Amino acid sequence: MDRKIFMTASLFGGISVVLGAFAAHGLKPLLSVSALDSLNTGIRYQMYHAFLLFFIGITTQITPKQKSILFKLILIGVVLFSGSIYLLSTNDLTPFNFKIIGFITPIGGLFLISSWTLLFIYFMRNKK
């Protein structure tokens, strides 16, 4: 499980760097300031959760089952939250109207909040 967590964390981190560079250099002249700010929010949150996954992978304070649950919550949360922000931020550049998927962003946020809350609970219950 730790290998899968580390690989996903690395992938999320690498994609965040690529998207950040692409946003700063390629998309900056094409997007409004508001859209660029939104895009950068998605990138930041993806990177934060890449670091969280690395932490989950290295900690010995939670069980493998708990790590698995957190991994799934974070994976789904990042894909829904950051992924929908990426699509919504670049909506003006595509012929498809991604605004119809706007409801997905807060659902992804709930998955991310749930992962942090659950991590807190796991540490609170841990008597080590």
1-51 pLDDT tens trace: 789 999 999 999 999 999 999 998 888 888 888 889 999 999 999 999 999
* 55-88 per-position pLDDT tens digit: 999 999 999 999 999 999 999 999 999 999 999 9
> Are 45 and 79 in contact, with CB atoms under 8 Å apart?
no
* Domain ranges, residue 114: 2-125
Q: How far apart are CA 6 and CA 54, in angstroms?
A: 6
The phi, psi pair for 60, rounded to 5°, reads -105, 5
- What's the number of domains the chain is made of? 1
